[in-house]
Structure 1
Amino acid sequence: MSVTVQSRGSQCRVAVLGRLESADDKDALLALLDADAGQPLELSFYDADVLGPELLSAIAARLDAGGKLKINAYHALLAHSLMRLNLPVRQVSAPRAQQPARPAPRALALAGSAQSLERILHIVERLPLSEMAVFVAQHVQENQVNLLDQLLKSRTDYGVEMPQHMTPVRPGTIYVAPPGHHMRVGHGHVYLTRDRQIQFARPSIDVLFQSLAGEYGDGALAVLLCGFGHDGVDGCAALRAAGSRVIVEDGDECAPARVMPDAARNARHYDFIMKLPAIASTVAAAAAGADAKPDGELLELFLEALSCHYGYDFRHYQRDSLKRRIHNLMNQFGLRDFADFQRAVLTDVALFERLSAELPVGVTSFFRHPAQLRLLRDEILPYLASFPLIKLWSAGCSSGEEAYSLAIVLDELGLLDRSHLFATDLNPYLLALGASGLYPAGALASNRENYLASGGPRLFDAHLAGGGRFLRLADHLRQRILFYRHSLTDEGIFNEFQLIVCRNVLIYFDAELQREVLRRFARSLHADGFLVLGPQDGLHRQALDAGFLPYQSGSHIYRVGRSANR
């Protein structure tokens, strides 16, 4: 990280590179913010997505003292976090201009050598029927019978041919290069020749790719898969020069047969480097054309690609919610073509961070559902006071309001010092917001109202550290909550708890995942523990099926029954 200060007359401009993790750099910024408030100060953050509570408080203090301060944020999440706290910020990275939808490719080429057979089958099996002509070139021994055409016929609705010389090219047909022949495409026909081997191969990937560049120009999409040798590298260069798109498989999943994709990557003759699920997803969306929607099989392929590429598994989220959010993001990104949206998200970490921040539902507030909190305050937490150490889990905590609500109740009951409170969520950005303990001041009135309705004995404000532009939770509350990333969709239990609170999260999961998460909660609870679900989750029947028993009718609070799957 680097902090660069430039002074011109009375103006001080500060450029901050990196994610602001160095203590020295933080101290330097704090000193600048604490300096003469009369001097205009401009801060430009190029990489940081969040700022710590100390810096945010220093920014607010300078503004409250009448200081002139301008903040430029190049990361969309940082701009969001500052605006959330009523701090002035200008987001420099403007939304992308609306791009014209790219027409569906007229030709698709799939090529590889060793270890490419199963990959070709994988892609073709997921390819929606379209007007594309598909050309397949695979290195095989010249005296070996190539049964790829027979294998493909049983896995696709496309027509499949191992063509003869001068076969006309028809849309919706797959053409497999026969052993011992180069396959070229020109003037609407397939040409087969027995010219010399290219890069010790016949059929040659270079020969096919170069002919497609001349025949289709920017209307071709090519995929170079695993293999040995350098065949295909020159062909990728020709395709890109003609305006075609080239996808190269990530060599890390090809080892040891990674020489071919690595050669294309090292020569920079590609548009995208992708793993197989991402390739299958983007190729399928491209085949579906500009009218393709994030729905059905295309959506399933995209979610599988996200899981493989980034490790975020949204495959069990309710589809209607996912589709709405993806549509909104496509509009924000200026990408009307679902294929272009996928390629952007799968190859641009910043766009994926936006997606990952938007897809999970982050709606929460302090003392939400106050009737439940009153029951926790009056009956359940006093019962748990018999434990020498109380372990609580706020699962799917979003930006942390629920976890702090629990901490406040524990504090007022004199139980906070012997409680361990875990707050987990899938989204690291939301976790960072929670760990900061800073919240918008605009919600203060509703926070006060919910707090009193939950049985709060004094004022909500007593748990805040000072006033100002935003709310700051008292330090002793922040220090008792451990925020960390945990996925309810694919990660198991990690402790035994006396209380688990998971409200308004499972409602966005499908029924299968709801049942699985409830079973995990049953295994995570102490025999005398409690599970709190959201009143709007509609999970009473599923909770009973998982072995839970209602604590009080209509409370949506449960105990572990003897039949629970532990």
Structure 2
Amino acid sequence: MAHALTTFDIELTLLLEGVYQKYQHDFRHYARSSLRRRIRQAMERFGCRSVSHLQERVLHEPEVFAQMLQYFTVQVSEMFRDPEYFLALRRQVIPLLSTYPSIRIWVAGCSTGEEVWSLAILLAEEGLLERSIIYATDINPEALKAAEAGIYAIDRVAQFSQSYLRAGGTRSLADYYTATVHGVLLDRSLRRGVVFADHSLATDSVFSEVHLVSCRNVLIYFDRELQERALKLFDEALIHRGFLGLGSRETLRFTSQASRYAEFCASERIYQRL
């Protein structure tokens, strides 16, 4: 016999449907376990006694919805996060990408931009930044604003620097930023080929043909149906023999796209389109 849904889950379904109908942001296929936890945090933050109360505020107060985006989406990122992934890109993927006259990379779900800036540094060090475009997309306008600003708290820099060196960095990370009163500001020259844009993997379509899609630690927050939709988008965007990089807890195995890719660097979840 099917379990009866709790009132909380029924109200959560109605909230997600309401957000989709009113704001065209689709979170209906995000993983429920993670959403439940974050919606409870939001209820506390906005002083709401129930999800219905939160829904009322979200639908009637657009400024509350804007703040809610940080609860619907997970904004956790670091520069050169999982350094082995960036080392594999540097040693195995970049040499192949360098054979193309121009390179297009899509960072899907770029959050506050740490991965985007990391890739720009890597491309600069490999002499490829001049002929590369990085499309950095996310659904959260506040996160995109922070990504574009490229300012990060000073207390995070030691960790960033360690990861940069483990990722095969050839200089000092300090060469790429200046300290300001607000934190460290990344070098504007890295920004040249980066396009920041609002894009939803739940509702939008492909906007360009690319050589590499990097979408790490995003699919784990989607249910199976939305994971499949996102993977189909990446497949449409990628050129023949293009590359797809996923997070350490994500895989193409058991998905409808599995047969379309070879495991190029299995340990780092880098796949090559066949």
Name the TM tier (shorter chain). over 0.9
1:294 aligns with 2:8: yes
Q: In structure 1, what is the Cα distance between the partners aligned to 2:156 and 2:142?
A: 20
Contact 2:79 2:117 in 1 (8 A): yes
The aligned amino acid for 1:549 is A
- The answer to whether the 8 Å contact 2:232/2:257 transfers is no
- Aligned match for 1:382, one of 92, 95, 112: 95
Matching of residue 510 in structure 1 with residue 223 in structure 2: yes
| Map of 1:311 onto structure 2 | 24
* Alignment RMSD (CA, Å): 1.7
In the alignment, which residue of structure 2 is the partner of 1:459? 172
Structure with the higher helix share, 1 or 2: 2
Q: Deviations over 1:244-270 (max 9, x none)?
A: xxxxxxxxxxxxxxxxxxxxxxxxxxx
Contact 1:522 1:548 in 2 (8 A): no
Q: 1:408 to 1:543 in 2, by over 3 A?
A: farther
| Contact 2:252–2:258 under 8 Å retained in 1 | no
Assess, with a 3 A threshold, how the Cα gap between structure 1 residues 390 and 558 changes in structure 2: closer, same or farther: same
One-letter amino acid of the structure 2 residue matched with residue 488 of structure 1: L
The answer to whether the 8 A contact 1:519-1:546 is kept is: no
When Rg is computed on C-alpha atoms for both structures, the one with the higher figure is 1
Q: What are the Cα deviations for residues 459-516 of structure 1, in whole angstroms up to 9, with x where unaligned?
A: 1111113455401000111232111100011111111100110000010000111112
Instruction: Give the TM-score normalised by structure 2.
Output: 0.94
Q: Is the 8 A contact 1:396 1:502 kept in 2?
A: yes
Query: What amino acid is the match of 1:505?
Result: V
Which letter does structure 1 place at the counterpart of 2:8?
P
Aligned to 2:130: 417
Whole-angstrom CA distance in 2 between matches of 1:394 and 1:522: 14
Aligned partner of 1:552: which letter? C
- Structure 1 residue 444, shift from structure 2 partner: 0.7
Pick aligned residue for 1:405 from 115, 118, 130: 118
How many angstroms does 1:539 deviate by?
4.2
1:366 and 2:79 matched: yes
Q: Does 1:431 align with 2:144?
A: yes
Distance (whole Å) between structure 1 residues aligned to residue 32 and residue 46 of structure 2: 21
Once residues 394 and 375 of structure 1 are traced to their aligned partners in structure 2, the CA distance between those partners, rounded to angstroms, is 17
Counterparts of 1:160-171 in structure 2, within 5 Å, are none
Equivalent position amino acid for 2:113 in 1: G
| Structure 1 residue identity aligned to 2:165 | L
Alpha-carbon distance in 1 for matches of 2:182, 2:233: 41
Contact map agreement 1:515 1:546 (CA 8 A) in 2: no
Aligned equivalents of 2:77, 2:60: Cα separation in 1: 31
Contact 1:293 1:338 in 2 (8 A): no
1:524-559 alpha-carbon deviations (Å, 9 max, x no partner): 101021000001224433275362211023220001
1:99-151, Cα deviation, whole Å (9 max, x unpaired): xxxxxxxxxxxxxxxxxxxxxxxxxxxxxxxxxxxxxxxxxxxxxxxxxxxxx
SS at the partner of 2:254?
helix
Using CA pairs under 8 Å that are at least 6 residues apart, name the structure with larger relative contact order, 1 or 2: 2
Cα–Cα, structure 1 residues 329 and 540, in superposed 2: closer, same or farther, change >3 Å? Answer: same
1:409, 1:337 → 2: CA distance? 47
AA at the equivalent of 2:16: L
Gaps of 5+ in 2: 1-5
Task: Determine the structure 2 residue equivalent to 1:444.
Answer: 157
Aligned equivalents of 2:116, 2:151: Cα separation in 1 = 13
**1:264-303 aligned within 5 A:** 293-295=7-9, 297-303=10-16
Q: Is contact 1:550-1:557 (8 Å) kept?
A: yes
The separation in 2 between residues aligned to 1:338 and 1:384, in whole angstroms, is: 48
Q: 1:341 aligns with which of 51, 54, 62?
A: 54
Aligned sequence identity (%): 38
Q: Return the letter of the residue paired with 2:26.
A: D
Q: Is the 8 A contact 2:201 2:229 kept in 1?
A: no
Q: How many residues align?
A: 270
Provide structure 1 residue ranges, at least 5 long, that are not aligned to the other structure: 1-291, 562-566
Aligned to 1:185: none
Superposition deviation, residue 412 in structure 1: 0.5
1:361 and 1:543 mapped to 2: Cα distance?
A: 26
Offset at residue 381 of structure 1 (A): 0.9
Per-residue deviation, 1:340? 1.9
Cα distance in structure 2, aligned partners of 1:350 and 1:432: 16
Aligned mate of 2:197, from 484, 509, 512: 484
Partners of 2:15 and 2:51 within 8 A in 1: no
Which residue of 1 is the match for residue 239 of structure 2?
526
SS at match of 2:255: helix
Superimposed CA distance per residue, residues 310-364 of structure 1 (whole angstroms, 9 cap, x where no aligned partner)? 1111011001111111111111111113322211111011111111122101101
CA distance in 1, matches of 2:256, 2:179: 42
Query: Are positions 1:535 and 2:230 aligned together?
Result: no
Alignment partner of 2:58: what SS?
helix
For 2:31 and 2:208, the matched residues in 1 are separated by 28
